[in-house]
Amino acid sequence: MVMDKCTSQHIIFQNDYLNIYGIDINNHKDRFFTIGENKRQKFAFSNVPKQISIVFSKKDDTDKQEFVSNQLFESQINPSLSPKMRNELINVLYTYNNAFVSDNESLGAIIGHEVDITLNIDRPYPPLLRRPAYPASPRAREALEKNIQELIQLGVLRKVGHNEEVEVTTPVIIA
């Protein structure tokens, strides 16, 4: 999802990923998720983007600096990397910067890299696919509708006709 200078508000997971990787999302006093069997290691949903601290040398061109500030502004690079390793990583990302979509480009329109996705919708469905839908709050519905409309305009999603049978849905998690 491409958003203009803000962190992502919605994460879309497929049920299979939640099940295969053991991702559990908890909405208690603090919102967090766990991965796998270790339920003691909790990961928080963070709405505050962490800025990348990269020291550019004078020989680095302004295009690379602009790439870091515009495309990687929400990225988190492992703090245990040495400055040299961080700069090498930035150089690799900059070298292949055409792999990243910007606010001015269409999401999902990568020419020359096509992926065939086969969905298994044969019965019996896995238990996680049999869960009934539940309503979202008015505030969440408004935000979801805005983001869904944006994804429709980008050509990532399409509307389903009222007489079109759909057997697989994807849950939306508001983070």
Q: Along the 175 residues of the chain, how does pLDDT read in single tens digits?
A: 344 444 555 555 556 666 666 777 766 667 677 777 777 787 776 654 455 555 555 555 778 888 887 777 777 788 888 888 988 888 888 888 877 766 666 665 566 666 676 666 666 666 665 566 667 788 878 888 888 888 788 777 777 777 777 766 665 555 4
The confidence score (pLDDT) of residue 3 equals 42
**Residue 29 DSSP symbol:** S
Q: According to the model, what pLDDT value does residue 62 have?
A: 78
Percent helix, strand, coil in the chain, to 5, is 30, 10, 60
In the chain, the amino acid numbered 118 is: T
At residue 138, the pLDDT reads: 84
Closest CA to 2 of 76, 99, 71: 71
Can you give the pLDDT at residue 162?
Answer: 74
Which DSSP letter does residue 57 get? Answer: -
Maximum C-alpha span of the chain: 61
Asked if residue 138 has a cis previous peptide bond (ω within 30° of 0), the answer is no
Q: Is the CB of residue 64 less than 8 Å from the CB of residue 90? A: yes
> In the chain, where does DSSP find H-type helix?
15-20, 62-71, 83-95, 138-153
Task: Specify the residue for token string 């935000």.
Answer: 143
Measured CA to CA, the distance from residue 59 to residue 51 in angstroms comes to: 22
Structure tokens at 109: 């329109």
